[in-house]
Amino acid sequence: SERLKKLRTHNCLSEKEVASLTGIEEKRLSEIEEAGSSMTMTELKKLTTFYRCSSDYLLFGKGISNLLN
């Protein structure tokens, strides 16, 4: 999703770094960011925890992320 890429680039992180820190494969992160592939509940939980944002923000763009303030 565009929001995931925005969060990642805002924090000067590569897909490889996020993959290492979240346990989600780099290829899978790329699929989610670029192709808009659906996330599993586990992936969603890992990413919301890592980026300190709500699932509503990642999925629907509602609310804000703490890291973009």
pTM for this one? 0.84
Between vectors from CA 58 to CA 55 and to CA 61, what angle results, nearest 5°? 110
Separation between Cα atoms, residue 34 and residue 36, nearest integer Å? 6
Predicted local distance difference test score (pLDDT) of residue 67? 53
Residues of the chain with pLDDT under 70: 64-69
Predicted local distance difference test score (pLDDT) of residue 27? 95
